[in-house]
Amino acid sequence: MCGRFANHVKDMGRWAEVLGDWPTDVQTSYNIAPDADIAAFTVEGGTSMRWGLVPAWSKTPNTKYSTFNARAESLASRPAFRSAWKHCQRCLIPVQGYYEWQRVNGKKQPFYISSPGGEPLVCAGLWDQWGEGREQFRSCAMITCPAIRSISAIHPRMPLLMELEYADLWLQGEAGKCAGILQREPEAELSYYRVSQLVNNSRNQGADILTPVED
């Protein structure tokens, strides 16, 4: 599960050529929580989407279930996601890093996970569109997969991190051709360190959340 992340992406780096510029209508924060508006990139370019996918068939703009993460193994079968997967409504979600919690001595200790070189991590996602007219909006889910060995002790799952060479296929390819990407183990190198309990409250948005704390 990935339930918090930092999207204070200052430089898109090598991804700028593929994704373009950061959407101007998306605020950046060091502590993004579900239901926030985040930057998501589709084949049409970068835009703002609500984090937490609301399927088009939903009777209300809110769901009773957790839909901010989508397991790679069940995209084609889970009702909330299978239509978006079938209709190739895929997106990419750049983050500076994300947070996970590990139970340490009976308490949940938050960790910040990111690229050692500071490059953005680009996560695979699905999106859908709900409503009509002024009520219409887009929302998305971040796809998760089994964690790579280096971080599996913190949490058994992680965002499905996209490699640059597969970005165009992910955004434009048919569902059948993209299925193989879901089964690939991410090749990303990740580093992590402990952070304070400040991240537990989504109202805390400042850079001090990223300050390492001692073991």
Half-sphere exposure of 94 (CA within 13 A, CB side): 29
99: CB partners within 8 A, 6+ apart: 2, 3, 4, 5, 6, 110, 111, 112, 113, 195, 199
Q: Which of 65, 45, 41 is nearest to 53 (CA)?
A: 65
Which segments of the chain have a pLDDT < 50? none
Asked if 127 and 140 count as a contact pair (C-beta separation under 8 A), the reply is: yes
Asked if 100 and 113 count as a contact pair (C-beta separation under 8 A), the reply is: yes
Asked if 120 and 9 count as a contact pair (C-beta separation under 8 A), the reply is: yes
In this prediction, residue 50 carries a pLDDT of 96
CA distance 195 to 198: 8
For 180, 198, 205, the CA distances from 4, given in Å and listed in that order, are 27, 12, 11
| CATH numbers and ranges of domains, the chain | 4-210 (3.90.1680.10)
In this prediction, residue 56 carries a pLDDT of 94
In this prediction, residue 195 carries a pLDDT of 97
In this prediction, residue 200 carries a pLDDT of 96
Its pTM stands at 0.94
Q: Which of 101, 102, 99 is nearest to 112 (CA)?
A: 99
In this prediction, residue 10 carries a pLDDT of 65
C-alpha of 152 from chain center: 18
Could you report the per-residue pLDDT of 57-110, keeping only the tens digit for each? 999 998 777 899 999 999 999 999 999 999 999 999 999 999 999 988 888 999
C-alpha of 5 from chain center: 8
Q: Which of 123, 103, 119, 121 is nearest to 111 (CA)?
A: 103
In this prediction, residue 89 carries a pLDDT of 97
